Amino acid sequence: MPRSPHAADHVAALTTIWREVLRNDHLDATADLFENGGTSLHVLQIVGRIYDTLGVEVRPRHVFLHASPQDLTAFLVEDPASERPAGRRSDDDRTHSRPRR
């Protein structure tokens, strides 16, 4: 459940994104992306739309781990470091990056 007006705005925006990407107007804030036909391609579309709509960089793994608008918002609210402008990386991102081959 959103704890702030900012979180409520995020839930509403993410729910709209889920509905548009999955082409299903009946989805709500608790709709699981993958239980509703989502694929990895949809995840990439969602990541792009989140940036376009909210100006927030969300990594694909965040969407995989938090597959509903409500869960993803809770993650963003609990971990403000994950909610940063695009192009900025945290120490956490560098730690979990795969080594280059």
DSSP H helices, 23-87, are 40-54, 60-65, 69-78
Higher local confidence (pLDDT), 90 or 50: 50
pLDDT digits (tens, 9 = 90+) for 13-69: 999 999 999 999 999 999 999 999 999 999 999 999 999 999 999 999 999 999 999
- Residue 89: pLDDT above 70? no
Between CA 6 and CA 59, with CA 17 as vertex, the angle to 5 degrees is 75
Instruction: Report the helix count and the strand count for the chain, using DSSP H and E.
Output: 5, 0
Q: Any idea which fold 5-95 has?
A: 1.10.1200
pLDDT digits (tens, 9 = 90+) for 43-52: 999 999 999 9
Do residues 54 and 46 touch, judged by C-beta distance below 8 A? no
